[in-house]
Amino acid sequence: MILPRRSWCQGVVLTQEDLTGGPGEAALPVDGAYGCAQGTEVVWLQCAPGGHPCKPEVYKLLGKPVSESWNCSGNGCGHTLLTPHSGTLSSKNYPGTYPNHTMCCWRLQAPPGSSLLLAFGDVDLEPSEHCAHSSLLLADPQTGTAYGPYCRNSVPSAPLLVTNSSTVTVLFNSTSHRSGRGLLMSYATSQHPDLISCLVRGTHYTQEYISVYCPAGCKDIHGDIWGNPSQGYRDTSVLCKAAVHAGVIADELGGQVTLSREKGITLYESAFANGLRSKRGSLSEKRLVFHKACDDVLEVVTFNASSWWHEVDVLGQDRAWVAERAALSTTGHSWAAKPGAKAAWLELDLGTRKNVTGIITKGSSEQHDYYVTSYHVSSSRDGKNWRPYRGSSGQEDKVFEGNADSHGEVSNAFIPPIVARYIRVTPQSWHQHIALKVALMGCQLARVRIPRPYEPSVPKEVLEATSHPPSHTPIPGIALDPEKAGSTLLVILLIGGFVLLCSCLLLLAFLCHRKRKSAVELNCGITKEYTEPDLVQANPSSQTGPSTFKPLLEEGYTLPLVLNHYDVPGKHNEYAEPLPPEPEYAMPFTEPEPAGMHRSPCIITGPAECSPGQYQTPALRPGELPAAVEGTGTPCSEESRGWPRHCPLAHVYHEAL
C-alpha cells in the first residue's frame, strides 16, 4: 500500500511492503504514532502523542534496534550549525519563502546531565487546520515527550521553551503553500537561562546594562549591523551578530555577552572585522558598546621578516620595504616581501610573553595597491618552535580573512587567545604583491601562582637523647614548627625593631617641630618701634655717623632675604627709605583758637631768636593768592611770605620726631 505524501499519518497500519513501495510518509502500527519515511529510509519516528514510547515490535518491524538514532536529514534544511552547547538552525531560503514539498529533521544532543533550552526566533508557516500543510514538531524519541505541531495559527506560547531532556528531535515539513518565511530556532544547554535568538536587536531592551547568552551560528543569519568596535553599534543592530563583529564571541562557539546602552552618536562608520562587513549608519538614540577585557594595543619590540623588497622605481629612486615599516602606525609604504619569494612571513617580537587577543592588518598604502587577502598565524614562546593557530575547532589551521583594499583596516579576534612572545603572520593569498602592516591587541599576561599541594610532614626518626631537652613554653594561638622556629622568631624581631625605629623617628620629628614653633612665637611677640631722625640733612650720602636710612646700592647694600612668613623685624637689617630730593610736607591741621581772637591764616609768629632762614614755606605759584582773612577779607602782604613777624600762628607744620 502506497500512501500519498502528507504531513502526518495517524492510526494507519504500516507493513514492510509499504516502506519498500516508494517515497511517502506513513503511519506506524501504533495508535497515535507519527512517522516520516522517504523510500526505505525512516528519517523520523515518534510514537508518543499519548505520552507512551514506541513499542519494541514497531522498531523490529522496521528492522532497526530501539537504541539506534535515526539519521535526520532532508531537502528543506537551511543554515545549520549544531554544537554540544548551543546552535542555530533554519528552514531553506529563510527569510525568503520556504519551498513546497520539503522536509528537514535535526537531532539536538546536549551533554549528559544537562537539558536543552529552545529559543524560537521566527516561526512563520502557512496556517492550516491542525497545521496539516506546513508544521514544526519537537519531540524526544527516548522519553516520548512532544511539543507541537506549530504553524502560523498555532505558535509557541513563549519565546523560550524549557525541556527536561538532553535529546530533542526537530522535524519541519511542508506541502503546497503560497507564503511563509519558514522557521529560525536556536538552542543551548540549561546552564544558560539567558539564551536569546539570533534575531534579537538592541532596541528590545530598556535597561542600561545587558548580559545575555548568544548561541553559535548567528553570523550568517540575515540581519544588519551598523558601526564598529571602537565607536559602538547602532541600537537597531542585531545583537549577537554585532557581538561576532566586535570579536567578543566566536561564531562557532557562541558565548556570554555583556554590553551597555549608551548615548547615540551622529554617524556610525563601516568596518570589516571577523568576516563581517558592517554598514554606515546615521544618528540613533542609543548605541551598543560591548565590554571586552584585554583589548589594548601591544608594543612590538622587533619586526623580522623572511625577506624585504628593495625597490628602484622608473625614476631611479630607491624605496626600502623593510620589516620595520610593518608597524600599523607607520606613515607611508609598508613592509613588502621580495618579489618571487616563496613562503614569505612577518614575525613580531613582543619582548615578553603576552596575552594576544586579536590582530589588525592593513595594506601597503593609498599610493600602492598591494595587500594580503588571507593569512595564517603561528605563535612561539622561544622563537624556534612554532605552533599554528587553529581556533576553537582545533582540527585545521585557521585561515584569517584579510584586506580587500590597500588602505582599509581589518580586525580578527583570537578566540581562544594566544599566549606567546613571538607571533608570525604567513600570507596565503594577496593582490599584486605581499605588503602588510600589522598591530596586535591584547594585554599583559597575568601571573597566577598555582598553590602547591598540601604535603603532610612526616616525622623524622631521631634517636632518644640521654638528657631531657629544655622545655619550650608554647605561645598561645601560635603554632611554631621546631625546625622553623628560629627563622620565624628572627623575622618577628626584625619587624618589631623596624616598627620601634619608625616610632622613635616620628616622635623626634614631632618634638623638633614643637620646639621650633615655640621659638617663632616668642620672636613674634617682640615689638620694635622705629622713629625718624630729629634732623634731616639735605644729602643723605654726606652722613658720617650711624644712620637708619637704607644705604645706596653702590655701597654694597642688598635686600634682605625673606625665608618664610615667620620672619619678623629684628632678624635682618632693615632701613628706612631716605627723603626724596624735593621737600615733602605733612597735611596741615588747624589748632583751636581762643574765643574772641581773629588771626590771619597766613601770618606766622615765632620766637625772637628764630630767623626766617630756618623755616621756609612753599612759594606761591604765579597768580596764586593767600587765603583771605576771615571776617576782614584782607589778604596777606608780600612781607608776610618770608619770616612771619606780625601775623598770628594759624597753621603749624610738624616734622617727624
Taking only the tens place, the pLDDT of each residue in 49-73 is 433 334 343 333 344 433 334 446 6
Greatest mean pLDDT among 189-203, 466-480, 547-561 = 189-203
Residue with the larger pLDDT of the pair 62 and 406:
406
Residue 219 has pLDDT above 70, yes or no: yes
Q: What is the mean pLDDT of residues 85-97?
A: 94
Helix runs in 136-285, H state only: 239-245
Burial bucket for residue 123 (CB in 10 Å: 0-12, 13-18, 19+) = buried
CA 143, chain centre distance (Å): 48
Q: What is each CA distance from 388 to 83, 115, 306, 397, in whole angstroms?
A: 23, 35, 17, 6
- Give CA–CA dist 221/80, Å, rounded: 10
pTM: 0.61
Residue 172 has pLDDT above 50, yes or no: yes
- Give CA–CA dist 276/292, Å, rounded: 18
Partners of 277 in the β-ladder:
272
Nearest CA to 244 out of 279, 235, 253 is that of 253
User: By the 8 A CB rule, do 109 and 167 touch?
Assistant: yes
3-state secondary structure of 203: helix
Nearest CA to 288 out of 188, 401, 187, 212 is that of 212
Residue 620 has pLDDT above 60, yes or no: no
Burial bucket for residue 175 (CB in 10 Å: 0-12, 13-18, 19+) = middle
Partners of 187 in the β-ladder:
87, 118
CA 175, chain centre distance (Å): 53
- Give CA–CA dist 535/538, Å, rounded: 10
- Give CA–CA dist 270/237, Å, rounded: 13
- pLDDT at position 351 is 94
Mean pLDDT of the chain: 74
Residue 278 has pLDDT above 90, yes or no: yes
pLDDT band at 621 (very low <50, low <70, confident <90, very high): low
- pLDDT at position 164 is 86
CB atoms within 10 A of CB 630: 11
- Give CA–CA dist 298/291, Å, rounded: 19
- pLDDT at position 418 is 95
Nearest CA to 557 out of 544, 568, 541 is that of 541
Phi and psi at residue 457, to the nearest 5°: -70, 130
pLDDT band at 145 (very low <50, low <70, confident <90, very high): confident
Helix runs in 120-207, H state only: none
Q: For residue 170, what is the enclosing H or E element? A: strand 167-174
Q: For residue 601, what is the enclosing H or E element? A: none
* 462-517 tens-digit pLDDT: 434 444 444 444 444 444 454 555 677 888 888 988 899 999 999 988 888 887 76
